[in-house]
Amino acid sequence: MPRYYEDLEIGETYETGGYTVTKEEIIEFAEQFDPQPFHLDEEAARDSMFGELVASGLHTLCLSVRLFVTEIVNGEVDIANMGGLGMDDLRWHEPVRPGETLRVRVEVVGKTPSTSRSDRGYVDFRRSVVNDADEEVMSILSHNIVRRTDAAD
């Protein structure tokens, strides 16, 4: 049974397992979506403000969504997610380097019933991405559309 809008409580927290990002993946992602020198080439990255090759922040965001969707939404929490409205407060606090293992901590921080649609409500999730040293490398607030129980009858 999935968990519907009514089943989620403000203050609930979840944590995913780890995902280790490789240098090959960092470069492949950057070639596709964010081809800047410090994400593509170790030599060029030395002259950047990072001083070494680092993952695109967009890549970190994508990996955090993958962990959230596979392990939380489709996983043990099993949330009746209908889609996304948007995101706020995305911040990259620390660079992510090849070989680092990322985990995601999630907290339900807000709930608003839809006034126009009785089958859904809006749930705000604060998501924090941490590395092996338990440093926060990224944080974001996501706004999701979640189905209500009665809509499933």
Interface with its own copies (CB under 8 A)? 32-36, 38, 48-50, 57-58, 61-63, 65-66, 69-70, 73-74, 81-92, 120, 145
**Least distance between its own copies and beta carbon 108 (Å):** 19
Q: Nearer Cβ to its own copies, position 131 or 147?
A: 147
Q: Nearer Cβ to its own copies, position 11 or 24?
A: 24
Q: Which of 65, 133, 125 shows the shortest CA–CA distance to 99?
A: 133
Token match 């604060």: residue?
126
Q: Nearer Cβ to its own copies, position 76 or 88?
A: 88
What three-state secondary structure class fits 68? helix
Q: Nearer Cβ to its own copies, position 12 or 57?
A: 57
Q: Nearer Cβ to its own copies, position 87 or 109?
A: 87
76: Cβ–Cβ under 8 A, 6 or more apart, which residues? none
**Least distance between its own copies and beta carbon 42 (Å):** 16
Residue 26: its H or E element: helix 23-33
**First and final C-alpha spacing in the chain:** 12
**Least distance between its own copies and beta carbon 107 (Å):** 19
**Least distance between its own copies and beta carbon 9 (Å):** 23
CB atoms closer than 10 angstroms to residue 89:
9
**Least distance between its own copies and beta carbon 39 (Å):** 10
Phi first, then psi: what are they for 92, rounded to 5°? -100, 115
Note whether 108 and 8 are within 8 A (CB): yes
